[in-house]
Amino acid sequence: MAILVATLLLPAIVIACGLYFPSSLLLSGDDAVLQAPMVHFTKELERLQLEPPPRLSPSLKTGTDREVTLDSEILDLRRALAARGLDTNEVAGVVLAFSRSRADIEDHRRALGDWETPSEEIPWLHRTPKVGETNDPPARPELSFSEPPSGLPREFAIYLRGAADWHDRRTNEARKAWSELLALPVGERPYKTTWATFMLGRSWHDSDPVKATKYYEQTRQLARASFSDSAGLAIAALGWQGQLSLRTNDLAGALRLYLDQYAAGAHPAEHSLAFTVARITKAPDEQRLAIAQNPLFRRVVTGWILSSYSPHSTSSDEPGEVDSAAAAARAWLDTIEATGAAEVPLAEQLAVLAYQSGDYPAAQRWVELSGDSAVATWIHAKLLLRDGKLAASTAELARVVEHFPIDPPTRVHGEPPAFIDSFGSFYTDFSGRAEALGELGALRIARGEFAQSLDALLRAGYWQDASYVAERVLTASELKTYVDAHWPALTGRSAVAEAVPDPNEHTLCGQRERIRYLLARRLNRERRGPEAVHYFPARWKPAQTRFLASLKRGADKESAAPDRARAWFEAAWIARTNGLEILGTEAGPDWAIWDADYEGPDLTLRTNSATAKILKATPSEIRRAAAHHAQPEERFHYRYAAARLAWEAAQLLPNNDPETASVLWTAGRWLQYRDPETADIFYKSLVRRCSKTELGSAADRQRWFPELDENGHPVVTRKATPTIAPDPQPADKEE
């Protein structure tokens, strides 16, 4: 079978991707802004906008290599039969018979492979032979396949015979068959000429590379001469020939062939390119210098080194921390300088590369050669930070962000992507544009520019950091002013245009609802509920409206006490069942950011961090973060809010009343597992005020909140009467 991707015999390439770029910049210390941005090799290859080799086309079929080969062959056969004037039924009959022959060959290929390399699962390897038996392996499988159908075009029949010999390891016979095919008159082999030529190259690949190369080149010539190449074998031949170049250490030749293969649409060729470039970085100085003289090769090698570099902590300049990748990067920089090719188009890449490798003087030189490159300005901002120039760095980074809007402008047809679009982390959804804007947000909070920091972090998609600034640093009034100015509610066509099904994506579309919703809950927590309604998303406005109405009725001293109590308890029930949605904090302690299922790192830790020297919290930030927190600052704090409201309800109800007992029992149960000490207040009130009720009496005997049976009656399981209520086991999950 033809193999379409010529990387199968190459070692697997694992491209290092550098440090994990955190989803929280503010918890990363100075590394958040000092570490070098990462680059995708694939995107750098795309930026080359390589012209594909003329008149070579990839296969129109998709699937595995073997599936593409078989499907392409059937397609060619149908075309050949249709050209002979066969009707639909006749074509179908020949194709079916041919497919059976192919299937027989495929079965033999698998059986022979299993026989040559038996796995541990094959019974005869391990079973104990019976008396008179031996444990000898089975005989070599014999090839047996259906004879090609009559009516099969001659070129297909000959090629099929060669394929059968090839998979039966009879290489010479296969070569004879394919040579026989190529000896046919040109008009009798329009479909299988490229196939036979390619497979002749494959047959000589290991034993005679010169012959193999000749056949690979002929395959491409034949494809350009309009012989059918439905399986894309001419493009595959580029890869196999590239492998032969690698064997002879012709690194430049291999690089050219793999680039042609990539440009032709065989994108797995990027792995072969990576393997080749890795060899180039370790080549002798003379060979590396010769390759660097080629402008295209310079860009490819530079792009790969940028993407493969695994930076050490760039906030440290300790000696001995430069690894082999940094050494390779510096050697390549020296090679570039030795060529004298200090051209501006590559200068911004080299500025990043020098910064990655820790050669900061070289980074500064390349920055100066980069003209008005915004990426080079980004690197310059980092260099300024290293010198402790926070204000100057912030100003430079603000210039960078102006050039890199989160949503890049539509490019003119044929215009290559910007270098910034090759940046980004392999582990998160943040683009290079978002990273630059997020870093600006981190610098602004270090300068005490809190609203500007929130705006940058929010638009960059660093929601965890943005929520910290919005909930803990800004006052509620400052946050409301910011939201009203930058994220007003949309109406009409604007609302429809920006509507998104999932507002948790790292896109600007979801940020409006996200920040408005956070503001709504914060206003609610600070007893500004009527203002909050306007900011709630539509799905939670009804719950908020009911909550406010219940609070209003409960606070109405003109109403009867029982009615007020029921209103308070209705509000308590809403706070307990929808507390996360109308009162919960986005980050700690409630973690609405993850639907309260998980707890994340507490960003207030940055206020007492001793590791940050550049991004350390200002005294103002520390004071604000300490003052703006949930009351109480406990996990699922809204349960406490619900319990307080229930307590207000109970105060308006009479003693020894079943309704009073039910309110106290219910509210205590909300807290009994996570906070038994606070729940104990409700338990004691239940016993003291409602001992004559069924529920209060049962609680007294149980010495804690009793369970209820299926009919709603309390169940007392305690046999003794201890003086101290038991310590209940904590619950792990939200009820």
> What is the CATH classification number for the domain harbouring 169?
1.25.40
Produce one character per residue of 299-318: b if its CB has 16 or more CB atoms within 10 Å, e if not: bbbbbbbbbbbebbebbeee
Residue 226 lies in a domain: yes
d(CA 656, CA 662): 11
Residue-level pLDDT at 504: 47
**Mean pLDDT to the nearest integer, 140-147:** 82
Distance of alpha carbon 419 from the chain centroid: 20
Question: Per residue in 444-472, pLDDT tens?
Answer: 999 999 999 999 999 999 999 999 999 99
Mean of pLDDT over the chain = 87
Q: H or E element: which one contains 478?
A: helix 476-486
d(CA 726, CA 702): 9
Tally Cβ neighbours within 10 Å of residue 557: 7
Residue 349 lies in a domain: no
Residue 218 lies in a domain: yes
State which of 79-88, 116-125, 209-218, 416-425 shows the largest mean pLDDT.
209-218
Residue-level pLDDT at 429: 67
The values of phi and psi at residue 165, to 5°, are: -65, -40
484 confidence band (pLDDT: 50, 70, 90): very high
372 confidence band (pLDDT: 50, 70, 90): confident
pLDDT at 25 over 70: yes
Residue-level pLDDT at 508: 60
Distance of alpha carbon 121 from the chain centroid: 37
pLDDT at 726 over 80: no
Residue-level pLDDT at 7: 36
Residue-level pLDDT at 310: 60
Residue-level pLDDT at 426: 54
Q: H or E element: which one contains 708?
A: strand 707-708
pLDDT at 6 over 70: no
State which of 18-22, 180-184, 715-719 shows the largest mean pLDDT.
180-184
pLDDT at 486 over 80: yes
Residue-level pLDDT at 144: 82
**Mean pLDDT to the nearest integer, 622-629:** 94
pLDDT at 196 over 50: yes
Question: Per residue in 419-445, pLDDT tens?
Answer: 988 987 655 668 889 999 999 999 999
Pick from 385, 384, 420: which is nearest to 402 by CA?
420
Residue recorded with tokens 């010479």: 172
Q: Measured in Å, how far apart are the chain's first and last C-alpha atoms?
A: 59
Residue-level pLDDT at 341: 67
Cα distances (Å, whole numbers) of residue 267 to 178, 198, 239, 263:
29, 20, 11, 8
Residue 185 DSSP one-character state: -
Residue-level pLDDT at 244: 97
Residue 315 lies in a domain: no
User: Of the candidates 185, 200, 231, which is a domain's last residue?
Assistant: 231
Could you tell me which residue, 3 or 443, shows the higher pLDDT?
443
Token readout for 440 is 């600006």
**Mean pLDDT to the nearest integer, 649-676:** 97
22 confidence band (pLDDT: 50, 70, 90): very low
pLDDT at 14 over 50: no
Cα distances (Å, whole numbers) of residue 352 to 36, 132, 303, 356, 420:
7, 74, 11, 6, 11
The CA-based dihedral angle spanning residues 240, 246, 251, 253, taken in that order and rounded to the nearest 10 degrees: -30
User: Of the candidates 199, 231, 263, which is a domain's last residue?
Assistant: 231
5 confidence band (pLDDT: 50, 70, 90): very low
Range in 126-140, 241-255, 402-416, 575-589 with the lowest mean pLDDT: 126-140
**Mean pLDDT to the nearest integer, 256-266:** 94
Asked if 66 contacts 440 with a C-beta cutoff of 8 angstroms, the reply is: no
Torsional sign, CA 411, 416, 418, 424? positive
User: Of the candidates 197, 231, 265, which is a domain's last residue?
Assistant: 231
Side chain identity at residue 548, one-letter code: L
Asked if 542 contacts 636 with a C-beta cutoff of 8 angstroms, the reply is: no
Residue 188 lies in a domain: yes
Token readout for 586 is 């986005």
Residue-level pLDDT at 703: 96
Residue 162 lies in a domain: yes
Range of the domain at 212: 61-120+144-231
Residue 109 lies in a domain: yes
d(CA 499, CA 404): 24
Range in 119-123, 209-213, 241-245, 679-683 with the lowest mean pLDDT: 119-123
Number of domains in the chain: 2
Residue 34 lies in a domain: no
Cα distances (Å, whole numbers) of residue 291 to 254, 295, 332, 343, 671:
11, 9, 11, 16, 71
Residue-level pLDDT at 182: 97
495 confidence band (pLDDT: 50, 70, 90): low
